[in-house]
Amino acid sequence: MALLTDPDALTDSAADDGSTNIYIDASAQTVKLVPGQGGLIAADGVTIKAVYSFLKEEWRNDPNTKNLAAFDFPMIPITDEFFELVSG
């Protein structure tokens, strides 16, 4: 498997059950990457740009009804390869 660069290859679930490769916990204000799920292999990883793009879509659409819009977006892009984590 290769480095994931496509945000469409990432998925989130409503519960932290390990069934997806990302879990967004709005109440704890954390984003957890889960290696071994959905093509996310620990040795290969995922680009931060793909994670950023995926999170932007999640904040916009909120498919798991986590009320993400109530929270500040957690990343600020500096360049295509450099992002800053903010807001907790």
pLDDT digit string, tens, across residues 27-57 = 888 999 988 767 787 778 889 999 999 999 9
Total domains present in the chain? 1
pLDDT at 81 over 90: no
Q: Which domain holds residue 16?
A: 7-85
Task: Provide CB contacts within 8 A for 52, sequence distance 6+.
Answer: 75, 77, 83
pLDDT grade for 12, boundaries at 50, 70 and 90: very high
Residue 1 belongs to a domain: no
Residue 2 belongs to a domain: no
Burial class (CB in 10 A: 0-12, 13-18, 19+), 4: buried
Could you tell me the two tokens for 3? 């480095």
Residue 17 belongs to a domain: yes
Task: Provide CB contacts within 8 A for 20, sequence distance 6+.
Answer: 11, 12, 13, 34, 37, 38
pLDDT at 1 over 60: no
Q: Per DSSP, which regions of 1-88 are E strands? A: 22-25, 30-33, 75-77, 83-85
With 0.75 as the threshold, say if the pTM is over it: yes
Residue 62 belongs to a domain: yes
Residue 68 belongs to a domain: yes
